[in-house]
Amino acid sequence: MTKLHTLLGANPHEEPPELSQKLLTRLQGFIPESEGRALIEASIEWVNDFELDEEIQKRVDEHMNEAWSMFVLLTAEERAWFYDRILTALEQETFMGPESARKTAKLVKLFALRKASLESSYALRDELRLYHDRVLKLLKSWNAQGMRLKQDDPVFCGLSCSAASLFEVYFNHPHYMDDDDLRIEASLLLPELIRVFYPACSPVHIYMLGYHPDYLTEVAELIHFYLQLDRPREAKGKAYYNLASSFLGEGAAVLERGITPVLDILSLHISSWSDTQFDEFVDVFVYYPLLRHPLLQFARSTDRRLVLELVVAQNRRTLQAVQAADTLHEVNEMIARIQADRMPNREGGVAFCDFNFKLAVVEELMYKQHILQPQFDIGVFVQEYAMRRISIAEEGDRPIPEVREYFERLVLTEQDLSHVTKLVIGAGQQVQQQIIPFWNGEDGYFDVHALDDLRHLPNLSVMQVSEMLKADLTSAQERNLILVRL
């Protein structure tokens, strides 16, 4: 009969689900501070991996989570006492036997989880900041202890789960941007923690690695580390495939920061990989993150294609190497087809010296005289463009590269240009709103700096100009053009 049984007046043979429910019921009501602390103390001693049916164990864990949540919401003093009491129990664990290691792993998991009540995990934010140094010291000591143990040691399993779970307090307890200093400092421990305890690590650890000051280097070295492990893929833990997703998947953190530094490091390691390791890299880190529409995703991303090019450049003859080469060939063909379909493909035409002058001509021929067809519409273009997702809402305050490229490649023939009799150089033109949809006219992005291209407009007689014309007007005056100031 445990102390918790006694405090709750429970039957000695009461099972964990019933006992945890009684604890929750008691803490949900009003109780004196001394009784609440006694119950928490007793529950910390009682918590264990009871080896119950999965669903029953889950119910026990939920009861404990909610019971502790009720307690930590009482006062700041109680929260500080609770955090201190948990950490004290963890600091006293020596991990000398499998039973105590398993019990401690369950205690840490319950402590580090996001509580049943979101308010309670918000509330614990200040306590993590208060005891941050103790948590880091504990993690460092467990890392060191883990390196001395063999992975088949039952104690290692409990220690591994304890260390991985304890780190998750940095994900579950702080909830504000000004807690990033804690996460950054804690992230410095992550590369070593993942290497030591990788079987127990989760997607949370890969996410938190993003706070590491040298994130891209650590990602590259962890990829190399995982490939060097002489273990089946399924034994490498949940973090393994999440690392692959963060490398090349949709919204991957590595792609957002730029993949080149990672590839620079991998290129130093890749020659040392066996064919088996090489194929595992291609399968897990190249193809797995792109299960949906891989060809299109490679076509849309230069960085993803760089990975394929690195793989193909090794000139290996493995199955995955051959597949990568075939994929790269198909991707390049797809890019060519997309470009041919969505970009202007007329040949010939005149070459303009000033791109913004050309845009003024396009405005006249496409949007006023409707001679150039089809009329370009940014809304239609972004819906049909397959190379990447273009968001006007997110990118419309700056030049959209693909739209600018469209107009750069747009061919204007001498016959087209013969129709230009009037030209306007000023703000508010439709062509400008295609390239920068939210352009406000306050910068000089569309300023015209040269009038050399007047020679392409033999029938021009009137030119309306604003302050956007920065060029000398001598050539216009020599042609006796009618100049109208806007």
Q: Cβ of 52: how many Cβ atoms within 10 Å?
A: 15
Q: Which pLDDT score is estimated for 481?
A: 93
Give the DSSP H or E segment for 422.
strand 422-425
Rounded Cα gap, residues 48 and 103, in angstroms:
5
pTM for this one? 0.76
pLDDT in tens, 381-429: 988 787 778 999 999 999 999 999 999 989 999 999 999 999 999 999 9
Q: Which pLDDT score is estimated for 74?
A: 84
- Kindly state the percentage of the chain with pLDDT values over 70: 97
CA atoms within 13 A on the CB side of 62: 8
pLDDT in tens, 4-42: 999 999 998 899 999 999 999 999 888 888 999 999 999
Measured in degrees and rounded to the nearest 5, phi and psi for residue 463 equal -135, 120
pLDDT exceeds cutoff 70 at 119? no
What is the rounded average pLDDT of the residues 356-371?
A: 96
Rounded Cα gap, residues 115 and 468, in angstroms:
60
Residue tagged 């840490």 (tokens): 108
Q: Which pLDDT score is estimated for 121?
A: 62
Q: How confident is the model at residue 299 (pLDDT cuts 50, 70, 90)?
A: confident
pLDDT in tens, 45-82: 999 888 888 899 889 998 998 899 888 888 889 999 99
pLDDT exceeds cutoff 90 at 249? yes
Strands 462-465 and 422-425: parallel
Q: Which two structure tokens, joined as six digits, stand for 259?
A: 């993949």
What is the rounded average pLDDT of the residues 143-166?
A: 96
Domain ranges of the chain: 214-342, 355-485
Contacts of 156-159 spanning 24+ positions with Cβ under 8 A: 157/98, 157/101, 157/102, 157/105, 157/200, 158/95, 158/98, 158/100, 158/101, 158/102, 158/103, 158/104, 158/105, 159/95, 159/101, 159/105, 159/197
What is the rounded average pLDDT of the residues 254-268?
A: 96
**For residue 251, with 0-12 CB atoms within 10 Å meaning exposed, 13-18 middle and 19 or more buried, which class applies?**
exposed
Q: Which pLDDT score is estimated for 116?
A: 45
Q: Which pLDDT score is estimated for 337?
A: 82
What angle, 0 to 180 degrees and rounded to 10, lies between the N-to-C axes of helices 132-147 and 76-92? 20
Rounded Cα gap, residues 152 and 77, in angstroms:
42
pLDDT in tens, 263-276: 999 999 999 999 99
What's at 296, amino acid-wise?
Answer: L
pLDDT in tens, 320-350: 999 999 999 999 998 888 777 777 866 778 9
pLDDT exceeds cutoff 70 at 106? yes
> Ranked by mean pLDDT, which of 191-200, 347-356, 396-405 comes out on top?
191-200
